[in-house]
Structures are given as C-alpha cells and as structure tokens.
C-alpha cells in the first residue's frame, strides 16, 4: 500500500510538471507588441519552470529570473526593440509559481540608421540584385526588423543562385546597436562572384526526337544563366503534352570555375502511348455530365498527336477529334485538323451540328498574342422554339487572337485574358447564306491593395460582346446565335436561359449581346476569399430586347484539387426573378 501511495505521489508530481506552463504577463497599459508576446509564448512552450511550488527558494528564484529575463529581452530584440529594459520580474504569488509579472521601459523600436554593402554587391550591374539592394535601402530611418534583415540575406542568396552567381559567399554580417539601443547600423559582407554562362545543353535519357525539344529552347550556349529561362522551358515542355515528367537543372557540381560556365541537363520522361482521362460531374444546368478523353501524345518523330474527346449529358452530347501537326514551336506554331458532332436539346433550342475544319496557329516573334486562322464547314439541322426544322450548310473563314498574361497559372493575383474572333460565310463560297460573326471577351484581374505582399482586395472585371449580321437572322443556326445566363455570362440564371423572344414568347437567341461581371474579393486567410459582385446583360434582335442583372455573394477556396468558387446569386430580368447557386472550378483567368 505504501508503494502504491508513493507511486501515486510521484505520478502526480510528474503529471503536474508535464502540465505546468510558465506564463509572463505585463500591465495592461504597457502596450507590449503582439509579436513580442507571441515570441515569448513560443520560447516558453518548452520551458519547464518549477516542478512544484514547494521547490521555490531565493536561490533558484534568482536563477529563474535570469533565464526568464533573457527570454524576454531576446523577444524584444528580435522585434527590433533594443533599448527596452526589464525593471521588474517577480512571481505574481508564492502559491502560484508558474505565473510571473514583468514590467518594461523604453519600448521603442531602433531605427535603421546606416546600411553598408560590400563592393561586390555595389558594383554589380545585375538589375534584379540592384532592385533588392534599393528595396532594403528604402528601409533607412524606419524601425529595424530582424525578419527584414534576415529576409534580405535569404533573398539575395536565392536570387544570386537563380541568376548564376554560383560562387556567392555569405561572410559574417554585422548588426551594430548604437545610441543606447535606439539605432542600428548594418553591414552586409557578401562576396557575389562572377555570373556563370551556359556552356552546353544536354539531353539526358531522351527517346524523343531532339528537335522537338530544341525548338522550344529560347536560350543558347554563351547566354547568361537564369533560372527563369529554365522555368519557361519546363512550362513549355509540359504544355506539349508529350511528357509525364520534366526536369531541367544546371550541373552545378561539374561547373567550370575557371571559365565560369555551366551545363544544363534536360531530363524528360515520355507519356505512355495511350493516355486516357475520365471525368464526371453534376451541375444545375446539365445534371449529370461525363467525359472521356483519349490521347496519343506522339504518333511519330515529327511530333504529330491525336486526341478524341466525348462529353455526355442530358441536354448536350458532343464528340471531337483533333489531329495536331507541329511546326517550329509545338505550343504556338502548329496546324490542327478537327472534326466533330454536337447535339443540343436545351430550353427552346434543338440542334444537331456536324463540322470539319482546319486551324493554323502561330505567333509573331516574342509577341504574347496567340493567333489562329481557320476554315470550318458546318452542316446543321436545327429548330428554334416553335419554328419549323431548318437546315444549313456554312463554310466559315475566320481568325482569332488571344492574349493571356498571369503571374500564376493556378492562383493568379493579377493578369489579363483577351480573345477576339471574327468569322464569315459567303453564299458564293459553298454556303447557303452570307453572315458575319464577331465576338470579343476580356478579363482583367487587378490587385487593389496589398498586405504582407499579397492583395488584401482584388477586382475581377469581365466584359463580353458579340454580334451576328445576316440577311435573315432567324435562318442562322441556333449554335451561332448568342444566349446569356450561367456562371460564365450572368449569374443568377440558368445556362443560356436569357434570350430575346418572338411574338409567341419563345426564345430566339440574340444577334447582339453585351454582358459584364464585376467582382471584388478580399482575403480571409491563405485558403479563403469572400467575394461580392454584380452582373449585367443586354441582348437584342429586331423583334425584342431584354435586360438582366444580378447581385452575387460568394467564396473562393484553394482546395486540394485546385481553385473552387461558390456563389449565391439573385437574378432579375424583365421576365423573372431567380435565386441560384453556382459552383466553378479552375483559375480566375
């Protein structure tokens, strides 16, 4: 029994020691920065303190004061408060030996008074590194922050390595506290070294025709090394859809330190010959929807590829076959041969369309616009509303151009996407009527202000315009007319539910349409944004004009599978007022 009580007592002591937590509090009017309090709490997380209050003696109380005083001062110093002094550090009560009361004076930040850079940095003409230096110099006469000082060292080293200064040396850096802790001078002793040039580009374990890779490389031996060039090439190789893995890196270990040159190793793994993607989803517009994509990524040494795509839902079914023939640039310079069939039975539209076409994609120089010249033959059987079934044969000639600029392909904070398309058919060229179709779409993502180097508020603006000109608009196939509604047009309404009507109240589609989505969203945390927006639309024919608008509130989520956006929308038009929930997946641009 005595052994039992002894073990129980010993267990209680250890349990108390395991759960006891030392805390340090300051007077409420002390105005201690929250960051300092956080640093103190983190430092005390593994601090055991007294095992029990019976162990408190004058001798070990002094020892505890010294240890805790050091922890407190280090927390103030890490926040740039070097002049701070601890005037009192006592136990709040002898019976509670884990809670300490502290008082501090001179809680004021030290100002960054002077910065000295090594000659190696000052004489460098590298614009990226000079921008880093100027950014730190801009902190002069501002409160010194240890995190900003360490961040500069980390950024200079990272940027230097990324730009080919592989011999950089970070020697001893000096932070001198002067004027009684009210000012700081900093000396950066960094030996930058010489920038390396590219010596040779080597393909490692590559079975594909080397020209398909070298055609995408925009740098050459003798050029200055930059990781940005490697990242651009990595993205370009991934876009070809030839490869399941892409690895591009400098061979730093074998670099030539005499000539300051380095080899670039390009290591790629081809995809399997047959690549299949299956998809399934559900929406309020289409119900259950499934898709199947079969791809032959590379058919021959010239890089030709074949893709078949099918999508099935109750209101729409389609199948498309595409044969791609690359030229100088697999991603931007190629010929596409396409054939497809599409069946639609939605709202007042019934349509069955077969098509075959040729598209020539190209880009001029370093211009970021992607251009496309195309010709396409379409045969359509369609019935719009109560009208009788109609037939149409059209041979389109047209062109489109697209610009996409974004600072991040998946989670952009700023950028733009613009697309302009023009097409025509002529009754003298294998078409049963002459028509002209023009459409333009612009998306702009603009940060409104920034906190911690990320936008606190952002503005997304989308504008769409389209028009069809024909001798008799009501003989134009339904798939060529314009409709509004849905998450890509005006929220608060079903997909393509907005249309001018005829005398019987049946949808006709529009020959002119303009719509806009305007949205502002703000950051809640790293994974969530809350969004507010309004949408508006105007569509017309010679018989009718409709207008609609909506108000939207939603959330953006950085989910494990990519960006997802939710909206609850209230739509209003001349014919109806509706509530609708929208779910979108994919990047903003």
Q: Please answer whether residues 354 and 340 qualify as being in contact, where contact means their C-beta atoms are separated by less than 8 angstroms.
A: yes
Which whole-number Å values give the CA distances from 466 to 141, 404, 433, 481, 539, in the listed order?
55, 20, 19, 9, 9
Computed on alpha carbons and rounded to an integer, the radius of gyration of the chain in Å comes to 34
391, part of any domain = no
| Residue whose structure tokens are 């000109």 | 469
Using 50, 70 and 90 to split pLDDT, how confident is the model at 380?
Answer: very high
pLDDT digits (tens, 9 = 90+) for 38-87: 888 888 887 877 777 776 777 878 888 888 889 888 888 888 888 888 88
Write out the residue range of the structural domain in which residue 61 sits.
12-105
How far apart CA 571 and CA 150 sit, in angstroms, is: 52
How much of the chain is in helix, strand and coil states, percent to nearest 5?
A: 20, 50, 30
Domain end, chosen from 251, 270, 289, is at: 270
Check pLDDT > 50 for residue 314: yes
24 plus 82 within the same structural domain:
yes
d(CA 412, CA 131): 23
Residue 104 has which token pair? Answer: 């501090």
Q: In what order do the strands lie in the sheet with 85-93?
A: 23-25, 96-105, 85-93
How many CB atoms lie under 10 A from the CB of residue 414?
A: 16
User: 139 and 242 share a domain?
Assistant: no
Task: State residue 454's pLDDT score.
Answer: 66
Sign of CA dihedral 329, 330, 333, 335: positive
- CA atoms of 438 and 405, how far apart (whole Å): 23
> Over the stretch 496-538, which tens digit does the pLDDT of each residue have?
899 999 888 889 999 999 999 999 999 888 899 999 999 999 9
The DSSP bridge pattern shows strands 190-191 and 169-170 to be antiparallel
Check: CB of residue 221 under 8 Å from CB of residue 229.
Answer: no
- In this predicted structure, the answer to whether residue 341 has a pLDDT above a threshold of 90 is yes
In a domain, 511, yes or no: yes
Residue 451, pLDDT score = 57
pLDDT digits (tens, 9 = 90+) for 317-328: 999 999 999 998
**Quick one: 436 and 510 in the same domain?**
yes
Query: Which two three-digit tokens encode residue 137?
Result: 């110099």
Regarding whether 203 and 87 lie in a shared domain, the answer is no
Overall domain count for the chain: 4
Torsion sign, CA atoms 370, 376, 380, 383:
positive
Distance (Å, whole) CA 269 – CA 237: 11
**Alpha carbon distance 105, 85 (integer Å):** 5
Q: Are residues 419 and 530 in the same domain?
A: yes
Q: Which two tokens stand for residue 218?
A: 């925009």
Using pLDDT thresholds of 50, 70 and 90, give the confidence band for residue 28.
confident
The two beta strands, 261-270 and 197-204, are parallel
- For residue 32, pLDDT beyond 70: yes
Same domain for 100 and 115: no
Alpha helices by DSSP H, listed for 20-138, are 34-44, 58-78, 119-122, 127-137
Q: Which 3 state secondary structure label does DSSP give 562?
A: strand
Q: Which SS3 state, helix, strand or coil, does residue 544 take? A: coil
150 and 47 within one domain: no
158 in any annotated domain: yes
- CB-based contact 291:278 (threshold 8 Å): yes
Per the prediction, the chain carries an average pLDDT of 89
Q: How many angstroms separate the CA atoms of 217 and 215, rounded?
A: 6
Return d(Cα 127, Cα 144) in angstroms, integer: 25
- Same structural domain for residues 61 and 143? no
Three-class secondary structure of residue 212 per DSSP: helix
Going by C-alpha positions, the residue among 494, 407, 502 that lies closest to residue 458 is: 407
**Domain identity same for 485 and 431:** yes
pLDDT of residue 366: 67
Position 95 in a domain: yes
> What does the pLDDT average to over 342-355?
91
How wide is the angle at C-alpha 259 spanned by C-alphas 256 and 263, nearest 5°? 45
Compute CA distances 410 → 153, 457, 558, 562, whole Å: 29, 18, 10, 7
- Domain end, chosen from 163, 191, 219, is at 191
- DSSP assignment of 248-305 equals EEE-GGG-BTTTTEEEEEEEEEEPPSSEEEEEEEEETTTEEEEEEEEEES-SSTT--E
Q: Are residues 437 and 561 in the same domain?
A: yes
Query: Within 10 Å of residue 552's Cβ, how many Cβ atoms?
Result: 23
**Whole-prediction pTM:** 0.76
Q: For residue 44, tell me if it sits in a domain.
A: yes
d(CA 170, CA 455): 33
323 found inside a domain = no
Within-domain flag for 278? no
CB 282 within 8 A of CB 289: yes
What band does 19 get if pLDDT is binned at 50, 70 and 90?
very low
Tokens of 97: 């030996």
Instruction: Give a yes or no: residue 17 inside a domain.
Output: yes
CATH number, domain at 504?
2.40.160.50
Angle CA 183–185–189, to nearest 5: 165
CATH number at residue 220: 3.10.20.310
Q: Quote the pLDDT of residue 453.
A: 60
- 40 with 155, same domain? no
Cα distance between residue 404 and residue 402, in whole Å: 7
Task: Please report which helix (H) or strand (E) contains residue 169, including its range.
Answer: strand 169-170
At a CB cut-off of 8 Å and minimum separation 6, what does 251 contact? 202, 262, 263, 264, 265
Tokens standing for residue 255: 């670099």
Rounded to whole angstroms, the Cα distance separating 119 from 121 reads: 5
Contact 170, 155 (CB under 8 A): no
Mapped onto helix, strand or coil, the DSSP state of residue 517 is strand
Distance of CA 114 to the CA centre of its chain: 38
Distances (CA, A) of 549 to 25, 216, 573: 55, 45, 7
**Per mean pLDDT, which range of 12-21, 148-157, 373-382, 488-497 is the poorest?**
12-21
Q: Show the 3-state SS of 122-156.
A: HCCCCHHHHHHHHHHHCCCCCECCHHHHHHHHHHH
pLDDT at 544 over 90: yes
Give the model's pLDDT for residue 352. Answer: 94
pLDDT band at residue 36 under the 50/70/90 scheme: confident
pLDDT, position 34:
86
Whose tokens are 């129980």? That residue is 8
pLDDT of residue 358: 98
- Could you give the 3-state DSSP secondary structure of residue 463? strand
Q: Are strands 23-25 and 96-105 parallel, antiparallel or unpaired?
A: parallel
The 10 Å Cβ neighbour count of residue 102 is 20
Write out pLDDT tens, residues 383-397: 887 777 889 999 999
Last residue of a domain, one of 174, 191, 208: 191
- Same domain for 562 and 452: yes
């Amino acid at each position: 029994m005595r052994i039992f009580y002894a073990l129980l007592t010993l267990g209680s002591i250890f349990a108390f020691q395991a759960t006891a937590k030392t805390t340090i509090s300051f007077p409420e009017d002390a105005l201690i920065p929250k960051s300092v309090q956080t640093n103190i709490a983190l430092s005390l997380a593994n601090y055991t303190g007294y095992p029990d209050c019976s162990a408190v003696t004058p001798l070990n109380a002094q020892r505890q004061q010294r240890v805790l005083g050091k922890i407190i001062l280090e927390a103030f110093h890490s926040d740039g408060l070097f002049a701070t002094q601890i005037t009192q550090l006592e136990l709040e009560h002898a019976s509670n030996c884990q809670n300490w009361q502290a008082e501090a004076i001179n809680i004021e930040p030290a100002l960054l008074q002077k910065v000295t850079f090594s000659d190696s940095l000052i004489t460098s003409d590298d614009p990226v590194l000079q921008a880093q230096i100027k950014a730190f110099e801009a902190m002069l006469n501002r409160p010194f922050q240890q995190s900003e000082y360490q961040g500069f060292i980390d950024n200079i080293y990272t940027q230097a390595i990324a730009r080919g200064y592989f011999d950089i040396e970070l020697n001893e850096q000096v932070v001198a506290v002067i004027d009684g802790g009210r000012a700081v001078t900093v000396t950066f002793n960094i030996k930058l070294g010489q920038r390396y040039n590219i010596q040779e580009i080597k393909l490692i374990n590559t079975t594909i025709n080397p020209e398909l890779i070298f055609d995408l490389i925009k740098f050459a031996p003798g050029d200055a090394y930059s990781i940005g060039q490697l990242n651009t090439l990595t993205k370009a190789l991934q876009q070809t859809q030839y490869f399941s893995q892409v690895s591009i890196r400098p061979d730093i270990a074998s670099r030539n330190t005499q000539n300051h040159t380095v080899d670039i190793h390009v290591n790629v793994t081809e995809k399997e010959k047959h690549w299949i993607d299956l998809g399934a989803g559900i929406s309020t517009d289409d119900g259950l929807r499934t898709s199947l994509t079969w791809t032959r990524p590379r058919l021959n040494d010239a890089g030709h590829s074949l893709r078949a795509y099918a999508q099935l839902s109750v209101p729409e079914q389609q199948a498309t076959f595409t044969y791609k023939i690359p030229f100088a640039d697999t991603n931007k310079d190629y010929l596409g041969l396409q054939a497809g069939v599409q069946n639609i039975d939605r709202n007042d539209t019934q349509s069955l369309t077969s098509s075959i076409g040729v598209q020539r994609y190209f880009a001029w120089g370093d211009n970021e616009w992607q251009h496309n010249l195309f010709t396409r033959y379409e045969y359509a059987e369609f019935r719009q509303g109560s009208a009788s079934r109609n037939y149409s044969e059209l041979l389109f000639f047209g062109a489109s151009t697209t610009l996409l600029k974004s600072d991040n392909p998946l989670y952009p904070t700023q950028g733009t996407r613009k697309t302009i398309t023009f097409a025509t058919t002529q009754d003298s060229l294998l078409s049963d009527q002459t028509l002209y179709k023009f459409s333009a779409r612009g998306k702009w993502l603009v940060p409104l202000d920034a906190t911690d180097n990320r936008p606190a508020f952002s503005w997304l603006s989308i504008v769409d315009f389209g028009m069809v000109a024909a001798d008799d608009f009501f003989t134009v196939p339904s798939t060529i007319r314009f409709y509004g509604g849905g998450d890509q047009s005006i929220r608060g309404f079903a997909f393509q539910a907005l249309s001018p009507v005829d005398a019987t109240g049946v949808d006709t589609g529009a020959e002119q349409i303009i719509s806009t989505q305007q949205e502002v969203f703000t950051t809640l945390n790293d994974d969530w944004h809350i969004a507010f927006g309004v949408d508006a639309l105007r569509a017309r024919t010679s018989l009718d004009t409709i207008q609609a608008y909506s108000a939207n509130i939603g959330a953006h989520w950085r989910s494990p599978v990519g960006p997802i956006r939710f909206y609850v929308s209230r739509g209003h038009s001349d014919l109806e007022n509706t509530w609708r929930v929208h779910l979108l997946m994919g990047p903003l641009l």
